[in-house]
Amino acid sequence: MKEEQAKSRIDALSVEIDRHNRLYYDQSNALISDFDFDMLLEELMRLEKEYPQFKHVDSPTQRVGGSISKSFEQYTHKNPMLSLGNTYSESELREFDQRVKKFANIEEVEYVCELKYDGVAISLIYEHGLLTKAVTRGDGVRGDIVTNNIKTIRSIPLKLQGNDFPKELELRGEILIPRDAFLKLNAEREELGEAPFANPRNAASGSIKMQDSAAVAKRPLECFLYYVIAEEKNFDSHYQSLEFAKNLGFQIPTTMARYSSIEGVFSFIKDWADAKDQLNFEIDGVVIKVNDFNLQKILGFTAKSPRWAISYKFKAERVQTRLLSVDFQVGRTGAITPVANLEAVQLAGTIVKRASLHNADIIEQLDIRLNDLVFVEKGGEIIPKIVGVNKQARTAESSVFKYAESCPECGTKLVRHESEANHYCPNELHCPPQIKGRIEHFISRKAMNIDNLGEGKVEMLFDAGLIRHLSDLFFIKAEAILGIEKRFVSEDGFQTKTMSLREKSVENILNGIEKSKQMPFPKVLYALGIRYVGETTAKKLATHFRSMENLKNADFEELISVEEVGEKIAQSVLDYFSKGEQILELEKLKAAGLQFEIEENNVSISTILSGKSFVVSGVFTRFSREEIKQLIEANGGKNASSISAKTDYVLAGENMGPAKLKKAESLKIPILSEYDFIRMIED
């Protein structure tokens, strides 16, 4: 290679690797596989070694991870969080073993093998046994302080167990989300009309960078420790240090094992390469570490990684197939999802004919065209994903396709909200897939729980023109649906099934609809499918406002005063009740007999608070906020949603909003503590 070519290639690789670094670490958006990224980095390292005069001062080979988020305070790691060298081959692992033995001048080395979690690295700093700081990897030298978010993770102790710990202790681990919890999290996001996460690592990465620690607490995050730094402790081995961490209350790898030869390491790798799919969390390889701490000190570090550790990465199973066409699917909330139709190919034990394309940005970044040969992976993904294009095999038959501009179902022009990746069909009240999706959500178990109705029967009733609105369900007549038939065809087109509604089916459907009228108001509110209003939020709104009428008349300030209701949810609720068609639909549902208010508890304890108006804010010790509100009403008082001149008392718990406190003080409204309130009603 000529010098000019080398310089040009080094420049191009530096830019490309930096871009992928930013996408991966800052935006949790990996456009290429780990293997491809490592190959790019390896090529750059090789060229820089051959042509050092062209090496950039800020070369990505000297960096670990991505740039620092400006949203958090930064912290300089006392000990840099270096990355590990990667290998994908047995021969390179043998070379690592030989280097260790030669460098240390020894014949036998004991290694510790651990699974390489596919999560997000974190540094945990304890002082006098208390967690004082949690810091992300960042660029390896400086990271973001995310302590409040990390404190919400249950597997991380806030206080160390026992008293056998040094004054200062740093532990490093991996934040991850278990597979089953990830599936549940994505189902909840889709229920709320939000885009699902691509994989558990992206979900974990996004979670620890959230600004609201209360929202982080709802994410099913876990932490596994893999390294201990304790200058005051004299450990003989890495294995011993992790056992020490376990005694302090940390989760450590239960799958780690020690081997006195590289052959044992290979057996560990083979066993877990075969069994990785049985785990409830994602791994992408195995980490091999020299166990003896004295030997680790002798081996030391390079500028980028320790000489005493290496990671063996599994290649994600990848296949090549042809992209035939792209469908655009419409979800319940109008979100458009592009789906690739592929030539059938076997991948990870299943036949794959469709794969996610996620959104327009990813299609453009990958430069995907019809009739291209594309690479499909399933490693680390719940559904198959197109990760690249074989551009060398591209022919004149490949053609650029336009992303849908109009809804494929109703023809409405699509919109794209600022800061969101997805396009949406705004025709929410008349777009067929959105109507059917809304009805399917309405009848679901967590909502109205209408027995004997399901996706297939909803489609039958919709196709017959009998249901277009939620309220239509409650005015269906038996004679109108008796005898309806529909022929369903499987996705591959080879199997068919005919469903028909006979007398018993019709009777069961109507009984289920009638029974659903007894579902309480919080369930009804959730069933309406208001965007961002999930099951928990619906319950809090219903409990706070007590009736649909009160909720409909609430303003923005009243809505955001409700626990866990932020600006996005509040605006969505306001938008819902601003539409005349929605109001008419609510009137029909109310006329059908649905529960539109919470039945008041008529048990009266006293009238001591009669005529007094309270605003309750903050977190309490003895009672929950709702229990305190019930006590106010049981003693004759009234609950108000916002502070005004008519408010008699503000009952303040911990973390009361500063704006509310300032307003109460400006209006000279008495502020009670939980203890003051208890004395008031006891007296």
> In the Cβ-directed half-sphere of 682, how many Cα atoms lie within 13 Å?
6
Q: 116 catalytic, yes or no?
A: yes
Q: What is the DSSP letter of 84?
A: P
Q: Which of 402, 418, 436 is nearest to 330 (CA)?
A: 436
Burial of 1 from C-beta contacts in 10 A (0-12 / 13-18 / 19+): exposed
Which of 55, 70, 101, 116 is catalytic? The answer is 116
Q: What is the C-alpha to C-alpha distance for residues 631 and 629, in angstroms, rounded to an integer? A: 5
Q: Is 530 exposed, middle or buried (0-12, 13-18, 19+ CB in 10 A)?
A: buried
Six-digit token string for 48: 């820089």
- Contact call for residues 573 and 533 (beta carbons, < 8 A): yes
Per the listing, tokens 């453009």 go with: 364
Q: What is the DSSP string of 296-353?
A: HHHH-B-SSSBTTEEEEEPPPPEEEEEEEEEEEEE-TT-BEEEEEEEEEEEETTEEEE
- Half-sphere exposure (CA, 13 Å, Cβ side) for 299? 24
Query: Could you count the other beta carbons within 10 Å of the beta carbon of residue 438?
Result: 19
CA gap 630, 634 in Å, rounded: 6
Residue with tokens 């240090």: 241
The b/e string for 646-657 (b: 16+ C-beta within 10 A; e otherwise) is: ebebbbbbeebe
Closest to 16 (Cα-Cα) out of 83, 69, 79, 61 = 61
8 A C-beta contact, residue 359 and residue 424: no
Strand, helix or coil at 249? coil
As beta bridge partners, residue 614 has: 639, 649
If you compute the radius of gyration of the chain from its CA atoms, what whole number of angstroms results? 30
Are 377 and 388 in contact by the 8 Å Cβ rule? The answer is no
Q: Report the amino acid identity of residue 35.
A: F
C-alpha separations of 613 from 45, 525, 630, 648, 650 in Å: 70, 26, 13, 5, 9
Report how far apart, in Å, the C-alpha atoms of 622 and of each of 15, 616, 625, 677 are.
Answer: 57, 14, 10, 11
Bridge partners for 114 per DSSP:
287
Give CA–CA dist 86/34, Å, rounded.
Answer: 10
- Which residue type, as a one-letter code, is found at position 265? V
Task: Report CA torsion sign: 150, 152, 157, 158.
Answer: positive
Q: Is 668 helix (H, G, I), strand (E, B) or coil?
A: coil
What is the C-alpha separation between 71 and 592, in angstroms, rounded? 49
Q: Please give the C-alpha separations between residue 342 and each of 345, 346, 370, 466, 594, in angstroms, as whole numbers.
A: 8, 11, 10, 36, 46
CB 201 within 8 A of CB 282: yes
The number of beta carbons lying within 10 Å of the beta carbon of residue 445 is 8
> What residues are annotated to the active site?
116
